[in-house]
Amino acid sequence: MSENVQSVERALDIINTIVAANRSLSIAELSQNMGLAPSTIHRILQTLTAKNYVYQDPQSKRYDIGPEIVDISSALYLRYDLVRRIRPYLQMLVELTGETAHVAQLNGTTAMYLSQVEPLSMVRMFTTPGSIAPLHCSDVGKVFLADLPAARVEEIVRKTGLPVRTPHTITDPVGLTAELQRVRADGYAIDDEEREMGVRCLSAGILNGAGKVIAAIGVAGPTNRLSRSRIDEVSAAVVSMADRSANDLIRQPAVPDHVER
Asked whether residue 103 falls in the same domain as residue 158, the answer is: yes
Task: Quickly state the pLDDT bin for 48 (edges 50, 70, 90).
Answer: very high
What confidence score (pLDDT) does residue 7 get?
87
Same domain, 12 and 108: no
C-alpha distance across the termini of the chain, in Å: 33
Residues spanned by the domain of 28: 3-65
Between these two residues, 200 and 75, which has the higher pLDDT value? 200
Q: 141: domain CATH number? A: 3.30.450.40
The predicted model gives 57-85 an average pLDDT of 83
Cβ contact 103:86 at 8 Å: yes
> Residue 18's domain is classified under what CATH number?
1.10.10.10
Q: What is the pLDDT of residues 88-103, one digit of tens each?
A: 999 999 999 999 999 9
> Is the pLDDT reported for residue 208 higher than 50?
yes
Cβ-based neighbour number of residue 210 at 10 Å: 7
Looking from the CA of 169 toward its CB, the CA atoms found within 13 Å total: 17
pLDDT tops 80 at residue 121: no
Alpha-carbon distance 49 to 54, whole Å? 5
End position of a domain, from candidates 48, 65, 82:
65
Mean pLDDT computed over 135-163: 97
Shared domain for 190 and 218, answered yes or no, is: yes
Tell me which H or E stretch contains 13: helix 3-21
Domain identity same for 95 and 206: yes
- What is the model's pTM? 0.73
Distance, CA of 59 to CA of 49 (rounded, Å): 15
Same domain, 86 and 206: yes
Same-domain status, 146 and 180: yes
**Same-domain status, 133 and 174:** yes
Residue 230 located in a structural domain: yes
| Short-list 215, 213, 209, 242, CA closest to 81 | 215
Which is higher by pLDDT, 56 or 76?
Answer: 56
Q: Which amino acid is at 45?
A: L
What is the structure's pLDDT at 122? 56
Same domain, 146 and 59: no
The count of structural domains within the chain is: 2
Given 38, 65, 92, the domain boundary residue is 65
57 and 142 both lie in a single domain: no
